[in-house]
């Protein structure tokens, strides 16, 4: 939100216009700076401006009918699908895990990929997982996702870790000597640091594994920290799981959002039990 507000602020400064200049300034911003932007970007920037106005107890310029019409015109003109991360389905997951070397970092990355897929984790959720929140079950384990995008109050929800994921996780923790605190940590001189891995580290780990696995450059570019979540959701659809089961597993609150995640699922092939 802050980054989107800075875009608007920078434009106002460049044009010599007041930051909260009301309808006329906003109409000009929409016409000049929203062209070619994805619908999600347009909505996000307008939400940031609306939030700033409310915090400052200023009139909301987005309530103006002319502004609403301008926004709708911009959305229709720029309308296109939001780019989605490549889904790390079971087949790709196994390829990346196999490509990780027999080093301490390799063990970390194998566990990260396996658990990220099992938990359908966003990268921010994955790096926030802690040893204390892992509870072994008869087969596999459950782990507390302390705070998610759809859990603003931080109540937390449990997610399932498969037997295979738990095996890789334990191997990493034992080799690294980690018994408490963050599970996934950055490495320095071949040893884990006493802090959580930055979310960007998830992206780097996935892309490095993808390159080592020999994936095409275009596929490597499409992989992101969201790929495990996308791929696991697609596999659940292919496996015939119900919408309620998938929403519960991935902690979704909207069927529309879930639909966007699984739109690329191949309903003719299923390559492994999630």
**Domain range annotation of the chain:** 2-78, 90-262
pLDDT tens across 182-239, in order? 999 999 999 999 999 999 999 999 999 999 999 999 899 989 888 898 888 888 888 8
Integer Cα distance of 65 and 37 in angstroms: 22
Residue 260 is predicted with a pLDDT of 62
DSSP 96-137: HHHHS-SSHHHHHHHHHHHHHHHHT--HHHHHT-BGGGEEE-
Q: Coil, strand, or helix at residue 45? A: helix
pLDDT of residue 273: 43
Q: Output the pLDDT for position 256.
A: 67
DSSP 8-state class, residue 61: G
Regions of the chain where pLDDT drops below 70: 1, 35-36, 77-84, 147-155, 256-274
**What pLDDT does residue 247 have?**
81
Q: What is the pLDDT of residue 148?
A: 63
* CATH number for domain 90-262, candidates 3.40.630.30, 3.90.1480.20, 1.20.210.10, 1.10.443.10: 1.10.443.10
Task: Write down the pLDDT at residue 14.
Answer: 81
Q: Under CATH, to which class is 2-78 assigned?
A: mainly alpha
* pTM exceeds 0.85, yes or no: no
Q: What is the pLDDT of residue 107?
A: 97
Q: Quote the CA–CA distance of 213 and 210 in Å, as a whole number.
A: 5
- Residue 142: the pLDDT is 92
């Amino acid at each position: 939100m802050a980054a989107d507000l800075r875009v608007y602020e920078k434009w106002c400064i460049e044009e010599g216009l007041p930051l909260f200049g009301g309808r006329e300034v906003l109409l000009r911003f929409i016409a000049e700076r929203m062209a070619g932007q994805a619908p999600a970007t347009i909505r996000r920037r307008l939400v940031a401006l609306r939030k700033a106005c409310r915090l400052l107890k200023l009139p909301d310029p987005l309530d103006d009918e002319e502004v609403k019409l301008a926004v709708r015109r911009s959305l229709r003109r720029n309308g296109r699908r939001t780019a989605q991360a490549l889904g790390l389905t079971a087949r790709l997951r196994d390829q990346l895990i196999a490509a990780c070397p027999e080093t301490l970092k390799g063990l970390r990355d194998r566990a990260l990929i396996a658990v990220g897929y099992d938990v359908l984790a966003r990268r921010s959720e994955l790096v926030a997982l802690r040893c204390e929140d892992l509870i072994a079950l008869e087969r596999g384990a459950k782990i507390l996702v302390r705070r998610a995008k759809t859990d603003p109050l931080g109540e937390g929800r449990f997610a399932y870790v498969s037997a295979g994921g738990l095996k890789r996780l334990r191997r990493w923790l034992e080799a690294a000597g980690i018994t408490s605190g963050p599970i996934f940590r950055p490495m320095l001189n071949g040893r884990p640091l006493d802090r959580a891995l930055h979310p960007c580290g998830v992206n780097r780990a996935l892309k490095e594994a993808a390159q080592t696995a020999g994936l095409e450059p275009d596929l490597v570019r499409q992989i992101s920290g969201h790929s495990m979540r996308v791929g696991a959701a697609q596999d659940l659809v292919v496996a015939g799981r119900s919408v309620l089961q998938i929403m519960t597993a991935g902690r979704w609150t909207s069927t529309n959002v879930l639909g966007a995640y699984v739109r690329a699922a191949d309903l003719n092939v299923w390559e492994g039990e999630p």
